[in-house]
Amino acid sequence: MPFVYGLVILVLSVNAVLGIPKIVSLVQAKINPPAIPNNLVLGEHLVATASAAPVVYLPISKNIPPPTLTANAALVEDLNHHFLLYVKDPAKRVPIASTTKIMTALIATEYYQADDILTVTPEASVSGSAMGLQLNEKISFINVLYGMLLNSGNDAAFTLAANYPGGVSAFVDAMNEKATQMNLTNTHFDNPAGFDSPQHYSSAADLAKIAESLTQNSLLSKIVATKEMTVYSVDYSVAHQLKNLNILLDLPGVKGIKTGYTPAAKENFVGLIKRDNQTILTVVLGSDDRFGETENLFDWTFNNFVFQ
């Protein structure tokens, strides 16, 4: 960082000498979250990279205070520029409940094809939210995926894991291997659904990276933006009425992504909104009002920042 500060001083000095009217602020386009203070609002006029590279204009803050959050950790990221606009304890390790299923979906889509047929096994007989799978039911992968991401079905998550080569334990190993590949230093999984465990946690910064990977997958992006649908077993003997738990999909521009709740994790939500050609990702973890606080972050972001 001293090198960056030195560059800033040099640029300001040159500007002063040459009488250049517009000051250039040199900032990091990608920031190491642990180095960011709590409740920090970020945003600069522009970023200068290499001399031959074009100038990238970043959002300009109007200095409107961010909303007060009950969340233990939170984050707002401008995905257009991969730039953090607001953070609160972004590196803090916390339970993440069913937002875990974002990673579950990533691992599953790397292995299964849409029309692969899965069998519902005893491992799917777990508590909590469900899509209503029945023991020994045959159902396509794509339908199970919808049931996991809309209804937040724990039975769906364990069905995906149980049908994976090596079963649930191998699937969870693949989740952790993916976390290592993505350099998620504050993330570890011990189940595919998000049940509370001392060995199951992530951070707002890490979860934002996982969610951004989901946004790069067209199938998953379509699913998390779906409000409701009906899916069937292979023989059409079982129907599953699915409804997305994300009530913010009723707001203009909201495209996902995933809810989560357990008593230990409290209310969690990873949100995605596209408005005025901007794509904004939010993470709210350990909240008393995940939807209200996310909506406040959406409104504050577009009221506070000028996007160029």
Output the average pLDDT for the chain: 87
Q: Which of 218, 265, 227 is nearest to 246 (CA)?
A: 227
pLDDT digits (tens, 9 = 90+) for 268-287: 999 999 999 999 999 999 99
pLDDT number for residue 41: 60
Residues 14-29: pLDDT tens digits?
Answer: 333 333 222 222 222 3
Residue with tokens 């149980």: 162
Q: Write out the DSSP string of the chain.
A: -HHHHHHHHHHHHHHHHHT-SSPPPP--SS--GGGSPTTEE---SEE--STTSPPEE--EE--PPPPP---SEEEEEETTTTEEEEEESTT--B--GGGGHHHHHHHHHHH--TT-EEE--GGG--SSS-----TT-EEEHHHHHHHHHHS--HHHHHHHHHTSTTHHHHHHHHHHHHHHHTT-TT-B-SSSS----TT-BB-HHHHHHHHHHHHT-HHHHHHHT--EEEEE-TTS--EEEEE-S-GGGGSTTEEEEEEEEETTTEEEEEEEEEETTEEEEEEEEEES-HHHHHHHHHHHHHHHEE--
What domain range includes position 218? 97-306
Does 119 fall in a domain? yes
Mean pLDDT value of segment 55-65? 85
189 belongs to a structural domain = yes
* Window from 49-58, 142-151, 174-183, 231-240 with minimum mean pLDDT: 49-58
Q: Is the pLDDT of residue 45 over 90?
A: no
What is the model's pLDDT at position 108?
A: 98
Q: What is the mean pLDDT of residues 57-66?
A: 89
Residue with tokens 């889509």: 109
Q: Is residue 192 part of a domain?
A: yes
The tally of domains found in the chain comes to: 1
Once rounded to an integer, what is the mean pLDDT over residues 52-79?
88
pLDDT score at 40: 61
141 located within any domain: yes
Do the domain assignments include residue 228?
A: yes
Average pLDDT over residues 66-95: 96
Average pLDDT over residues 92-121: 98
| Mean pLDDT, rounded, for 27-34 | 34
Q: Is residue 8 part of a domain?
A: no
Question: Over 70: is that where the pLDDT of 129 sits?
Answer: yes
- What pTM value is reported for the model? 0.84
27 located within any domain: no
> Is 153 inside any structural domain?
yes
- The CATH number of the domain where 195 resides is what? 3.40.710.10
